[in-house]
Structure formats: C-alpha cells, structure tokens
Chain A
Amino acid sequence: MENFLVDIPWVLQHRGDPGLRLVDLRRPADYLGGHIPGAVNIPIGEVLHITGQVAHVPPAERFAATLGARGISNDTHVVAYDDRYGTYACRFLYTLDLYGHTRMSMLGVNFDRYQGEGHPLETGTPAVPRSTYTPRTQADRLATKADVLDRLKDPGTRLVDTRSPQEFMMGHIPGAASLPWMSLIAPDRLYRSPEELRALLREKGVTPDREVICYCNMGMTSSHTYWALRQAGYPRVRMYPESYTEWGMDPTTPKE
C-alpha cells in the first residue's frame, strides 16, 4: 500500500499531473463553494445503492458510468478526499478497489485542514472529457451475509466491528472484536502510523495470518478500517457493506 496516503504538499505538487484525477466526496453545495483546483465531485450517495434501510455497493455498470462521467478510466490515478474524516473517501476507494482499480490514494487529512491553511481553491466544476471505465470485480474484497455466516466458527477468520462501544454492547455478530474506527485516527491525520495500527490490531486479536472481515452499520466506518488494515499490511481483508443493518434486521442470524 505504498503512497496510499498523500499529504497536502504532494497534492499541491501533483494536482495537475496528466492521468491524475482528484475526487471530492463532499456535498455538492460544499464542493461548489470551493474545492481543490481540478477536483471533480462525486457525492457519496452516488457510491451507494440503498434499498430500504440497507446500503449495498452500486452495480458495476452504474459505478462505471459515475466514473466515466468524471473522466476516470482504468489507468487514472485517483486521489480522493472529504471532510468526514475519510469515511466517504474510504467508501469510494473501497468500491474502486472492489471493481479492480489499482492506482488510488487518499489525502491523509480532512479537507478542513487544506482550507484552513489557505491553499488554493477553485469554485465551479472543471470540464473533463468523458471516459470509459471497465469494472473488473475482485470478489475477495467483499463479504456477504452468507460469507459471514459461513465463517462464524472459522478460526481462520476474525470479524471486526468498527461501531462505537455502545452500539457494540447493544448487539453484534458473535465472536466479533470491537475496534471503534475513531481509535484508528491520529490527532492531526486520518490514520495512526502503520506500526501503531498493527499494535492496536494485535491487541484485539486481529492478526495478519487470519482473514479479516470488517463491518459497521452501513459500510462507511468499516471502509475506513478496511484501509487501515490494508495499510498495516494485512493480506486478506474483506468488508461487509450491508453490515449490521442487514444482519440485525434478519431474525434468523445469530447475535451476541
């Protein structure tokens, strides 16, 4: 996961590079009010497929159309940012990863910091040529309810619940470790260092020799944790997008 997190000087230096596309995941009104020059806007709602209470990943064709309309093709280096401690950017990058994208990074600080430091801003929407995107689904990035049920008693899999301790106490998937996503954030950055992340994960019995499945309520904070695990060098990480919203509503699934 080299160069996954990039800092503000890196963005300022590379924002005009050919083949690089900055993606702003904030609300459209906030984006139009001022964004990093050259960035395109993809509101988080376009990255989710919500049915009832449950958020799924968007169908491949729909996601490909979203990317194509922003001039993103399979070889674009995508650099995402948001003002929600990375939760929106991480879910977008997770979806890119699921659909086989390889060149991606995330601004390692909240957009508020970029703005607060007085760096250049642009209003309006840049004109970008449409492109074609071909999704190549990597099914081993995703866990379904059936996958989780299959692995409940598998010692080779560790489930990680990224919700708050209060939510965990009110009900969780049996055997899951509680690892609130906020515990992975550093005071001035969106993530602690990979060494600190590995130590925190080990404390919870989350070791790289096991497959890890992370979940929350809607697959947002668990996407943040997904990228923490990837940065920490964990080789087999899945995310359960439908998460505890789906699990908790199903009267047939076991709860603890």
Chain B
Amino acid sequence: MTETAVQPHKKLDLSGEVCPWPVIFTQKEVKKMAPGEVLEVLTDNLPSVTNIPDALAKEGHQVLATGEASPGVYRILIRKK
C-alpha cells in the first residue's frame, strides 16, 4: 500500500483559510487524535503546503504525503506521533 493510499482517520478541510490559521487548526486537530492515527488536511493556500508539514514535523509527527488532490487544492497526510 502506498502512503497516499492510507485511509485517514479524520479529515480537515481548510479551504479558504490563510496563515496562521491552517497550521493552528491542524495542530489543534492532531492534539485531539490518538498516537498513530492519520489526519488528512485539504488546503487551497499554497504556502500552507510547506508551512503545515514543517510545523507538524517539528513537533515530531510524520508527514506521509503532500500533493495536489484537485486543481488548486492540496492534500497533506499526517500521522500523529
């Protein structure tokens, strides 16, 4: 199974949100999850495609994948540490 085929336990649609909120909302959501669970984040804010993985990786979580889910919408998969 590829990393992008991992079934997320939770999904967070952050379309329409810009800095600093995509990172804040992602961190908040991950805090509520159990270790090992996977969160799928959708964002249409290109800077968040870098900022979210950077911030979450610094907290020790695993960024499984980032990519464009549909034109202009990006998908980030994060596994909680």
Choose from B17, B46, B51 the contact partner of A27 (Cβ within 8 Å): B17
Interface status of B16 (Cβ within 8 A of chain A): yes
Binds B, one of A67-75, A96-104, A213-221: A213-221
Evaluate contact between B18 and A217: CB separation under 8 angstroms: no
Q: Tell me how far the C-beta of B30 lies from the nearest C-beta in chain A, rounded to whole angstroms.
A: 16
In chain A, residues 15-34, which have Cβ atoms closer than 8 Å to a Cβ of chain B?
27-29
A53 CA to B52 CA, complexed, in Å: 13
How many inter-chain residue pairs (CB < 8 Å) link A and B?
45
Whether A45 is near chain B, meaning CB under 8 Å from some CB there, is: yes
**Number of chain B interface residues as a range:** 10 to 19
Q: Could you say which of A28, A50, A245 contacts B16, with CB atoms under 8 Å apart?
A: A28
Interface size class of A (residues with CB under 8 A): 20 to 34
Interface string of B10-47 (1 = CB under 8 A from A): 00000111111100000000000000000000001111
- Contact present for B18 and A44 (CB under 8 Å): yes
Q: B19 is contacted by which of A27, A43, A45, A217 (Cβ under 8 Å)?
A: A217
Interface residue? A230 (CB, 8 A): no
Q: How many Å lie between the Cα of A247 and that of B17 in the bound state?
A: 22
Q: What is the minimal beta-carbon distance from B53 to any residue of chain A, in angstroms?
A: 13
Q: Which of A44, A50, A217 is B51 in contact with, Cβ under 8 Å?
A: A217
Minimum Cβ distance to chain A for residue B16 (Å): 4
Per DSSP, chain B at the interface is loop
Assess whether B7 is interfacial by the CB under 8 Å rule: no
Q: How far is the CB of A193 from chain B (nearest CB, A)?
A: 24
CA separation between A83 and B50, bound complex, in Å?
A: 24
Q: Within 8 Å of chain B (Cβ to Cβ): is A84?
A: yes
Q: Are B16 and A220 interface neighbours, CB within 8 A?
A: no
Closest to A85 in B: B21
Q: Which of A28, A53, A87, A88 is B47 in contact with, Cβ under 8 Å?
A: A53
Evaluate contact between A87 and B20: CB separation under 8 angstroms.
Answer: yes
Complex CA–CA separation, A102 to B21 (angstroms): 29
Residues of chain A from 59 to 110 with CB closer than 8 A to chain B in the complex:
84, 87-88
Q: Which residues of B does A touch, CB under 8 Å?
A: 15-21, 44-47, 50-51
Q: Which A positions have Cβ atoms within 8 angstroms of B?
A: 27-29, 43-45, 48, 50, 52-55, 84, 87-88, 163, 216-218, 220-221, 245
